[in-house]
Chains A and B, each alone.
Chain A
Amino acid sequence: MGINLEFFDNKLTAKISGEIDHHSAADFRQQIDNFINKKKPEEIILDFNEVSFMDTSGIGFIMGRFKTAYNLGIKLKVINIPKKLERLVKLSGIKNLGILE
């Protein structure tokens, strides 16, 4: 469980695994934001393939990174959201941000 950051070709890929709640999201946020501030990537990809559970803290985490990226002019996309998280994602309306793939 954790976050794995890969930086290649000015592109930051953050692979998140395990459970995202208010507790773990704080750590993920800090790690990724530190990295963004240091390396200033052109694009950020949040990979949710290995996320086994999340509550609305995960939605807040995506919204927060969306705002950060938007303010810095960085492209952001969220990929591989597992089927079991679909109900929450649908309810949250984050599909309207146009960043889910």
Chain B
Amino acid sequence: MKQENLCINEMNLNFLSKSANESFARATISAFIAQLDPTIDEITDIKTAISEAVTNCITHAYKSEIGVIYINCKIFENGKILIKIRDKGIGIKDIAQAMEPLFTTGGSERAGLGFAVMKSFMDKLRVSSKVNKGTTVLMEKSIIRRNITSVK
């Protein structure tokens, strides 16, 4: 394995699909990735994408029950950040339709832009889902390394 692709740290976070946990999730992940010394803009992009993914779990995947949301986050030597957000909720029947900007089943207070934001604010987005089994959102973003001394 090439040196710059080494995973230097990893965390797992499991919590209930309560809306109060939306801020908890994005604050926790941004505290973790702070080790890579990202810029404020990079942190904002990542926080926004996490907030969208977690909100989807709460308002769609577990819309009629409280379930567990699983986040796994890995950071790499070269500044790459991998975030996996998984639920065991109702799943998505038509992923392409769900990812279309402005499409929403969430009612008039939802903009239908969650996936569009994740796609635009992160470098890569992959969504896989099985009806009644759950959904996994995998997001990747590389940040520019300026200081690596904070991680051993």
Chain A interface (Cβ within 8 Å of chain B)?
Answer: 19, 21-26, 29, 53, 55-57, 59-61, 63-64, 67, 84, 87-88, 91-92
Contact = CB atoms under 8 A, between A and B. Distances in A.
Instruction: Please list the 4 inter-chain residue pairs (A to B) with the smallest Cβ-Cβ separation, ordered nearest first.
Output: A23-B19, A55-B51, A59-B111, A60-B111
A interface secondary structure, majority: helix
Contacts, number: 65
Nearest to A20: B51
Interface stretch (B112-120, B122-130, B131-139): B112-120
Interface residues of B, number: 25
A53 B47 CA distance: 9
B14 interface: no
Interface of B: 19-20, 22-23, 40-41, 44-45, 47-48, 51-52, 55, 58-59, 108-111, 113-114, 116-117, 120-121
5 contacts: A21-B23, A22-B22, A53-B44, A53-B47, A56-B52
Nearest to A62: B111
B40 A84 contact: yes
Given A23-B22, A56-B117, A87-B45, 17 more contacts: A19-B23, A21-B51, A22-B19, A22-B22, A23-B19, A23-B23, A53-B51, A55-B48, A55-B114, A57-B110, A59-B113, A61-B109, A63-B111, A67-B108, A84-B40, A84-B44, A88-B48
A55 B47 CA distance: 9
B60 to A, nearest CB: 11
Contact of A56 (B20, B108, B113): B113
A65 to B, nearest CB: 10
A29 B109 contact: yes
Contacts of A23: 19-20, 22-23
A15 to B, nearest CB: 20
